[in-house]
Amino acid sequence: MKLREQRLMGAQQQGGAVSILELLEKEMEAEEQKGKQKDEGAETSTVSSSAVTGQSKRTKGQEVGDEMEKELQKEEEIRLCHEQSCLVEQLENSSVTQFDAELHQLYEQKLHLDIQLKLMEMQMLKLQQEVLVLKRFETREEKLQEKLSKCLQEENQVLLKLEECNQQLELKGAEMIDLKKRVRALTDAFQASLGENCPFEEFLTKVFTQKIKRVQMEKSPLHEEDGEEDSDDDLDSDDYSSKKKREASLNVRPKGCKPELLKSTLQLRHDRVELEELQVKERKVVEALKKDITSLQEKEKLVKSQRRAVEADIELMNQEKQQEMNEVEVIIPLKLNQIQLACKGPVLSDLSEFLALDKMELFRMDEQIQQLQADNKKLNDQFHRDLKKRDRLLRDKKVKSIKVNELENRCDELMMRRFGRKVDLEALLTMPDSTRLEELEQEKIRLLAAHSDKMKHLETQVDEAQTALMKETRRNSNLLHTTIDLLEQTKDLKAKISSREKTKVTAVVGQTAVPGPQEASEPREDPGAPGAGKETTAAGGRSQAGDLPPVFCRRSGLTPP
């Protein structure tokens, strides 16, 4: 029995009603074979007994054995049927219920997966629409970003250049301050060199403060032709001004003045001129830097305005993109327990014709409806009050109209008694003013007629004066043009005369000997001093050298007049 139960348990584990029935049939066949073997063993045991007794009992034993076998078979069949029914019932109670439970679970999982799949599809559609929107704005956004990066780069470059220019301007400002200090130190040194109660203070001050131009002379190369040497000096024609006589007098040392003092003054003047030239150069550099800074500031403003414009375009594009992104349809799944109908009743399966509203929005609409109903009630009350007021005003109007009619009748009676007819009181009251106005208008017309001839005469005189003024203006403008032409001709003639005189002087000077550099660098003394007669005689022999520069005169051995 235990073996049978184990086999049954194994059959249950393997599953399937067909396999269990086959096992039962095999067991029944095995039991029948065992019963036959027992019968054969009993027969062999009874063979040793007597044949007679064996034969007599054999018939009885066979009958009893047949009956026992039949009973055992019936019992076994009943037992097997019972076991079969138990097994079938057990299979129905275990496998079917388990299968149904698993099937129900799988069905729920399928529904859940279908819901998620549908949600993912809707999400994918929404994302695809958003991607299409972003692709439409992609090229435009890239161009704007490139413009913005260029603007930022230009702005950074301009700021760096502006910072460099500011630093250079600060350095140049410090150098200008240093040069001013040096000029002040030179002035103090000149004042210290003069000392107290110097008789030549005014002369030396004029020499120190004299404005001169440093002449840069360029020596031309020497060319040997036919054994003759010609030297040409290229001099600037703008080295002198109209004050050459005064400058020449300042270059002459007065009597009693020490040469060392004059040399130191000239050296200080030379240093001062160099410092002033440096100041002029630095001032030009500062002005150029200021112009550069101004241009860079304007460029910075322009670049900033361009950057702001690009940023505004980007902001506008982002707004448009956000607007289109907001216009993309978004599907929100709702459960039936989240839906509540405004009217009482069950929720239908088809809700395509319904309008979905938020619960808070519905409450707000209810509140607004109540507010509108209250306002409507107030307006109705006001309307009823206005109707009552209208009725009252109509009654008052009727009473007033009756009273006005009575007063008009009384007024008519009074006018008939006094004037004998009906009179317009308004015209009667305004009559004096109207007569005065008419009188003034007539006076105005009369005066205009009287003075019209005089006005016409004055207008003709004004026109004649304007024409005369125009003629005089044209004549004066013609005279001015002729004067300008004459001045230009005079200027051209002066330039030609000066060029001719210079050519003559250069021809004369080319024949004279050139003195040494020591004579040219030494300061000239007063003509009254001893040893100055040779210079005066040489100067007397040159009457036409006044137009030459002082440097050229010193090299040729001549002095300016």
Structure tokens at 320: 């448009």
Helix axes 51-91, 17-47, angle to 10 degrees: 170
pLDDT of 183 reads 81
Q: Report the DSSP pairing between strands 223-225 and 228-230.
A: antiparallel
> Which residues partner with 218 through β-bridges?
234
Please give the helix or strand (H or E) that residue 525 lies within, else none: strand 524-525
Q: Which residues, 6 or more positions from 254, have their beta carbon under 8 angstroms from its beta carbon?
A: 200, 203, 526
Structure tokens at 400: 């007033």
Percent of the chain with pLDDT over 70: 67
Q: Which residues, 6 or more positions from 421, have their beta carbon under 8 angstroms from its beta carbon?
A: 415
Confidence of residue 150 (pLDDT cuts 50, 70, 90): very high
Would you give the end-to-end CA distance of the chain in angstroms?
Answer: 164
Q: Between 87 and 528, where is the model more confident?
A: 87
Q: Between 194 and 327, where is the model more confident?
A: 327
pLDDT of 508 reads 62
- CA dihedral (525, 528, 531, 537) in degrees, to 10, reads 100
d(CA 139, CA 67): 104
Q: What is the DSSP letter of 233?
A: E
pLDDT of 8 reads 47
Q: What number of residues does the chain have?
A: 561
d(CA 191, CA 189): 5
Strands (E), 495-547: 524-525
Q: Where do the domains of the chain lie?
A: 2-137, 358-422
Average per-residue pLDDT for the chain: 74
Q: What is the DSSP letter of 252?
A: E
The answer to whether 355 touches 333, Cβ cutoff 8 Å, is no
Q: Is the pLDDT of residue 136 over 80?
A: yes
503 closest CA partner among 541, 543, 547, 540: 547
Q: What is the DSSP letter of 96?
A: I
Structure tokens at 149: 């990066």
104 closest CA partner among 92, 96, 114: 96
Strands (E), 198-260: 218-219, 223-225, 228-230, 233-234, 252-253
Q: Is the pLDDT of residue 296 over 80?
A: yes
Q: What is the DSSP letter of 16?
A: -
Q: Is the pLDDT of residue 379 over 90?
A: yes
Q: Is the pLDDT of residue 547 over 50?
A: no
Structure tokens at 525: 């003394």
Q: Between 143 and 419, where is the model more confident?
A: 143
Q: Between 234 and 536, where is the model more confident?
A: 234
